[in-house]
Amino acid sequence: MPKRTDLESILILGAGPIVIGQACEFDYSGAQACKALREEGYRVILVNSNPATIMTDPAMADATYIEPIRWDTVEKIIAKERPSAILPTMGGQTA
């Protein structure tokens, strides 16, 4: 699939807090999405309310917000960062 040149930055919504032993696949898939998008040259903006996930590692995204994943919080981040696209499907049950 060819790279979309009309996109510069992508906002990824993380899974947030999870139960120990459950849903770690959401963090893994989100981390892989961050890596793949950065390798393609996109600026990655991450919102995740769980600071204890690999997704919030500074090397995963260009900008990381450890904030509640609520509509009003995400709205403020969108207004500030102005992403070209939003990828909400990495949020697992919060998506």
pLDDT in tens, 43-90: 999 999 888 888 888 899 999 999 998 999 999 999 999 999 999 887
Chain segment 2-54, per-residue pLDDT in tens:
889 999 999 999 877 766 666 566 678 888 999 999 999 999 999 998 888 88
Q: What is the DSSP letter of 23?
A: S
Domain ranges of the chain: 18-94
CATH 3.40.50.450 assigned to 18-94: no
> What was the pLDDT predicted at 66?
94
Please give the torsion angle defined by the CA atoms of residues 23, 24, 26 and 32, in that order, rounded to the nearest 10 degrees: -170
Task: Check: pTM over 0.75? Answer yes or no.
Answer: yes
Q: Between the CA of residue 85 and those of 42, 60, 69, 79, 82, what are the distances in Å?
A: 10, 17, 17, 13, 9
Fill in the amino acid letter for 1. Answer: M
Three-class secondary structure of residue 12 per DSSP: strand
